[in-house]
């Protein structure tokens, strides 16, 4: 099999199982943090006296990633930027809004969110490994997606991709989205992301408290985890039993 076809096959396979990557990062990250605390790793030694400040810095970057995802999903029509796993889907080509400055905004948002979870391990080897694995993993997914879009939209896709970077935004090229922002779509598609984010921050915070017996649990993170968890359960019920979040074309 030629390299081009092999990368396409790999990318589609990884696309289908891309939800497994966060689980791998989580379980390996837990072990990496335990090791960093146990041996007093360099990064942990530096940030430990300022642990809560470090947590809030990481949380801020993660929330920027969440905002990127929210903005992206809120301005896209149905049939694009979805959570499909069976195969690639694109009823239309998004080229305005955030897609006018970067071709893969959802993966950029994911990277910022997961990078800060990796940073909470305070394990330099794990953080470096995470960045490398993310790059290799999603490079192939992005390749497969772009092959699909190229075949489906032809010159329209080629013209857009020639001017729009794949991963690092070119802010000067921003053009307003052709669709208004939809909170309903955001709530339907992204309700679990915020809850999981705060849950993981609380988990790693609790692990540091448990291992060092120095700090008390960060009550702000714990409160946000409980609030976002209750919101998730409520919105899950609304989505399943009502049509309040339905919106034509979104």
0.75 surpassed by pTM: yes
What residue ranges define each of the domains in the chain, with the CATH number in brackets?
Answer: 3-241 (1.20.120)
pLDDT tens-digit series, residues 78-136 = 777 655 555 566 678 889 999 999 999 999 999 999 999 999 999 999 999 999 999 99
Provide the pLDDT for residue 24.
86
Q: Which residues of the chain have pLDDT under 50?
A: none
The greatest distance separating any two alpha carbons of the chain, rounded to the nearest whole angstrom, comes to 60
Provide the pLDDT for residue 1.
58
Provide the pLDDT for residue 11.
72
Provide the pLDDT for residue 19.
77
Q: Residues 200, 115: contact at Cβ < 8 Å?
A: no
Burial of 27 (0-12, 13-18, 19+ CB in 10 A): exposed
Provide the pLDDT for residue 52.
93
Provide the pLDDT for residue 25.
85
Neighbour count for residue 203 (Cβ, 10 Å): 17
């Amino acid at each position: 099999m030629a390299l081009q076809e092999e990368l396409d096959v790999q990318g589609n396979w990884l696309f289908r199982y891309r939800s497994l990557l966060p689980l791998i990062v989580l379980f390996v990250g837990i072990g990496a943090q335990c090791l960093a605390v146990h041996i007093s790793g360099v990064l942990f030694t530096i940030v430990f006296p300022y642990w809560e400040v470090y947590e809030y810095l990481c949380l801020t970057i993660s929330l920027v990633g969440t905002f990127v995802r929210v903005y992206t999903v809120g301005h896209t029509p149905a049939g694009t930027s979805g959570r499909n796993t069976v195969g690639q889907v694109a009823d239309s080509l998004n080229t305005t809004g955030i897609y006018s400055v970067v071709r893969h905004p959802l993966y950029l948002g994911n990277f910022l969110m997961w990078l800060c979870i990796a940073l909470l391990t305070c394990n330099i080897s794990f953080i470096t490994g995470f960045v490398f694995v993310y790059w290799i993993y999603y490079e192939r997914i992005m390749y497969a997606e772009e092959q699909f879009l190229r075949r489906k939209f032809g010159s329209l896709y080629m013209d857009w991709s020639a001017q729009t970077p794949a991963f690092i935004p070119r802010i000067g090229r921003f053009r307003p989205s052709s669709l208004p922002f939809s909170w309903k779509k955001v709530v339907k598609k992204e309700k679990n992301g915020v809850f999981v984010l705060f849950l993981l921050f609380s988990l790693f915070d609790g692990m540091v408290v448990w291992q060092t017996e120095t700090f008390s649990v960060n009550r702000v993170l714990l409160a946000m985890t409980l609030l976002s968890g209750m919101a998730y359960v409520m919105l899950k019920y609304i989505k399943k039993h009502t049509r309040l979040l339905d919106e034509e074309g979104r």
